[in-house]
Homo-oligomer: A and B are copies of this chain.
Amino acid sequence: MSGLQNIDLRVPRQARENCADCAIRHRAICAYCGPDELSQLEAIKFYKTFAPGEEIVAAGENTEFLGSVVEGVVALSKTLVDGRRQTVGLMFPSDYVGRPMRPIAPYDAVAVTTVRLCLFTRTRFERVLRETPALEKRLLEMTLDELDAARDWMLLLGRKSAREKIATFLTILARRAAALDKKTPDDGLNFVLPLTREAVADYLGLTIETVSRQITALRKAGVIELADARNIRVPDYTALLGAAGEDADGGMID
């Protein structure tokens, strides 16, 4: 049973914080909306928070809601009948969750950390969507970006070694961290790995054991340093990129 099934739509007024102050205002689906369009969305939005591990939607389920990640990380995964699982996307703040125009969810969405979503009911959202080209345009753009990311991941899953997979993933997290706290330059980059080893394994198409071993190997090689299992430091970003099997120049911190 999905976490989105029994939402009370009568949201208390104080929950409706101002879109203008929203942290993801300029990166989410609403990025291109002007003030009037924004207030249309504002009128129908509501928030919901999910605990780590909580299911947001289940594959095959009819999804009545869709919206943006405001805070936290959501994993989208597919599962084979015998339980093999593959995570097909990690959604960070400003990414959207839920499939417009198709009510049946093609994959599970699970809160990896504490997650706060800015949601709309499907019908309301699609009504606004039809009248708001700015929204549709941004949605297309974001979907194209997701598609590119998915295809990058296909290369990783199909052709990279376990070590390269881990290094590539850390590369991405490091880049995100660098982008967020602009202060940190590329000489010493710290970040928190928001996932358990199991979630990492599911994302990379590996087993927990291999993830563990390769992280240890990268640590012993001096490419990363671990304060504990979740707190990672990258002393030399270029070295990490090298281990990721990427062109040394590709994916610079801009």
Does chain B have a CB within 8 A of A88?
yes
Residues A245 and B81 in contact in the complex (CB < 8 Å), given A143-B147, A205-B157? yes
- Which residues of A are in contact with B by a Cβ distance under 8 Å? 76, 78, 80-82, 84-86, 88-89, 99-102, 106-107, 133, 136-137, 139-141, 143-144, 146-148, 150-155, 157-160, 204-205, 245-247
| CB-defined contacts of A80 to chain B, threshold 8 Å | 155, 159-160, 245
Instruction: Report how far A101 CA is from B138 CA in the complex, Å.
Output: 11
Could you give 28 example pairs across A and B, Cβ below 8 Å? A78-B154, A80-B245, A84-B159, A84-B160, A85-B159, A86-B155, A86-B158, A88-B151, A88-B155, A89-B151, A99-B148, A100-B140, A100-B144, A101-B140, A102-B144, A106-B148, A107-B151, A133-B136, A136-B136, A139-B140, A143-B143, A146-B147, A147-B147, A150-B154, A154-B157, A157-B158, A158-B204, A158-B205
**Cβ contact within 8 Å between B154 and A153:** yes
